[in-house]
Amino acid sequence: MLPMRASEIAAAVGGTLHGDDVSVTGSVETDSRLVTAGGAFFAMPGEETDGHRFIDAAVAAGAALVVAERPVEQDVPHVLVPAGVEALGSLAAEVIRRVRAAGELTVVGVTGSNGKTTTKNMLQAILEQHGPTVTPVKSFNNEVGAPMTMLRIDASTRYLVLEMGASVEGDIERLTAMSHPDVGVVLKVGLAHAGEFGGIETTARAKTEMVRDLDEAGIAVLNRDDERVRGMAAATRARVVWYGTDAGPADEPTRLWADGIDSTLEGTVATIHRAADGAARSWPLRMRILGEHHVMNALAALTVADALGLPLEPAVEALATMERAERGRMELLEPGGGITVINDAYNASPDSTAAALRALAHMTRQAGRRSIAVLGEMAELGPHAVEEHDRLGRQAVRLRIDRLVVVGTGAKAIHDAAELESSFGQETSFVETAAEAEALLRSELVAGDVVLFKSSNVSGLQALAERIGGL
């Protein structure tokens, strides 16, 4: 973070300073275990514990300032605020304002039901070639995680990439107001978190908030292949730049598009086309990342680079160097014995699970290998849960996945639907726990098998994938 005095922080967050007006030169943390000398500790109530209980630990670690919601007994300068989360966001907004005023900061916001973290990582690989770049750790994209990412910038930062997630309408609006993105990217509108939103149309409205609030000098990078994302063009004052899988109409062409898309167990290929400014160019894209659906994420990242005036050839080359999308996202593991594991169990939605199953079916059919899908619950689907799990069970059969293992009561509808769709039940098994799934897999796996693990993180299948994958 930019160095700031305690009084400046108090003014930025609308709080009251108690104690000396110290200089804060370290990072801002909400976890006392991460506090370093000269930093600030935000003591906030959480779902499982209360940050106020860890002020002693933060002070011992060298915190110069504490921001708290109630009086602090420890002998440390502190700022009292009505709400810690709101104060964190206010401080993040002030830091971005100061860095913008002093340098050449460009802020890129990324939202969508699927693909945010992969696209963020792709943007990091591209943008860091051109200047210091800050991106979220893991998938920090909510009312706490996004401001924490913003607070990591300093005067040298050239690019800030933010994931913008939402649990309810208004979440992305608040993150946009804090960061004022120069470029807003929308990837896809799907049923992820539909249980919280109440339906896909509400999800679409929430994802529209970022491009709606871009100013006239901004750039909205939109997925032309997604009907609901296409509709967002009418909601923004910003300049719209399209990406997709066709060239689009002559009067409003797609900035970058891809064809020749294919994916094998060695990676994913496509041809990227650009015809803007009357100069047609094409580039071969070769990624180690598995799955044809990741070409859309690559197109989004490359379109941002192109819209910012950055050269495309080194951007395409940067994507070729990426080892994986992210840990637990279509991550290829080779434990030996001729078995291949695809760990995609960090998170799951109906769209991402369907894409992963299609990728598994396509890649194994090409390679002549047996496909095994280990599927757990897709969380936060609310009233859509049974229907969407049922649909995926039927899809697994129609894709001719050779073996299906369904883990956990929340996912049982996948197994039930697959049994009904299939002509014989040996192709699908249901187990209650990851431990049972592990025992089953270790008794059945043979050389040549390709095993996909896909679920929401709460199912615990990521750890199982890593054990089977030899990590």
Query: What is the residue-wise DSSP string for 58-119?
Result: HHHTT-SEEEESS---SSS-EEE-S-HHHHHHHHHHHHHHHHHHHS--EEEEEE-SS-HHHH
Looking at the chain, the domain(s) classified CATH 3.90.190.20 span: 331-468
The response to whether 115 counts as a known ligand-binding position is yes
**In residues, how long is the chain?**
471
Residue 399: strand, helix, or coil: coil
Q: Tell me, what's the pLDDT at 194? A: 52
Contact 29, 5 (CB under 8 A): no
| pLDDT for 216 | 96
Pull the structure tokens for residue 219.
Answer: 């750039």
What pLDDT score does 266 carry?
A: 92
Q: Per the annotation, does 112 bind a ligand?
A: yes
412 is in an annotated binding site: no
Q: What is the DSSP string of 220-273?
A: EEEETTSHHHHGGGGG-SSEEEEEESS---TTS--SEEEEEEEEETTEEEEEEE
Neighbouring C-beta atoms of residue 239, cutoff 10 Å: 14
Residue 60 predicted with pLDDT over 90: yes
Is the confidence at residue 191, as pLDDT, over 70?
no
349 assigned ligand-binding residue: no
**pTM tops 0.95, yes or no:** no
Listed in sequence order, the residues at least 6 apart from 2 whose beta carbon sits closer than 8 Å to its beta carbon are: 95, 98, 99, 153, 154, 155
CA dist 174 and 93 (Å) reads: 10
Which is more confident, 212 or 275?
A: 212
Instruction: Report whether 294 contacts 330 (CB < 8 A).
Output: yes
pLDDT range class, residue 113, cuts 50, 70, 90: confident
Q: Is the pLDDT of residue 447 over 70?
A: yes
Residue 400, pLDDT score? 94
Percentage of the residues of the chain whose pLDDT score is greater than 90 = 81
Give yes or no for a contact between 42 and 91, defined as CB atoms under 8 angstroms apart: no
Architecture of domain 4-81: 3-Layer(aba) Sandwich (3.40)
Q: DSSP state, 45?
A: B
pLDDT attached to residue 244: 97
Q: Which of 88-102, 164-178, 270-284, 437-451 has the lowest mean pLDDT?
A: 270-284
Higher pLDDT pick, 328 / 184: 184
Nearest to 294 by CA among 326, 334, 327, 325: 325
331-336 and 281-287 beta bridge pairing: unpaired
Q: How confident is the model at residue 80 (pLDDT cuts 50, 70, 90)?
A: very high
Residue pair 153/96 in contact (Cβ under 8 Å)? The answer is yes
Q: How many C-beta atoms surround the C-beta of residue 252 within 10 A?
A: 10
- Least trusted range by pLDDT, from 45-59, 193-207, 314-328, 449-463: 193-207
Instruction: State the first-to-last Cα distance of the chain, in angstroms, to the nearest integer.
Output: 35
**pLDDT the model gives residue 192:** 56
Percent of the chain with pLDDT over 70: 96
197 pLDDT tier (thresholds 50, 70, 90): low
Average pLDDT score over residue span 67-89 = 96
For residue 423, pLDDT beyond 70:
no
SS3 readout for 417-438: HHHHHCCCHHHEEEECCHHHHH
At 355-410, the pLDDT tens digits run: 999 999 999 999 999 999 999 999 888 888 999 999 999 999 999 999 999 999 99
User: In a 3-state reduction of DSSP, which class is residue 389?
Assistant: helix
118 is in an annotated binding site: yes
Residues of the chain with CATH 3.40.1390.10: 4-81
pLDDT of residue 165: 87
Say yes or no: domain 103-320 is CATH 3.40.50.10140: no
CATH of domain 331-468: 3.90.190.20
Beta carbons of 419 and 425 less than 8 angstroms apart: yes
pLDDT digits (tens, 9 = 90+) for 14-52: 999 999 999 999 999 999 999 999 999 999 987 777 899
Mean pLDDT over each residue of the chain, to the nearest integer: 93
Q: Which two tokens stand for residue 40?
A: 């600030």
pLDDT at 264: 93
pLDDT recorded at residue 93: 97
Within 10 angstroms of residue 49's Cβ, the number of other Cβ atoms is 9
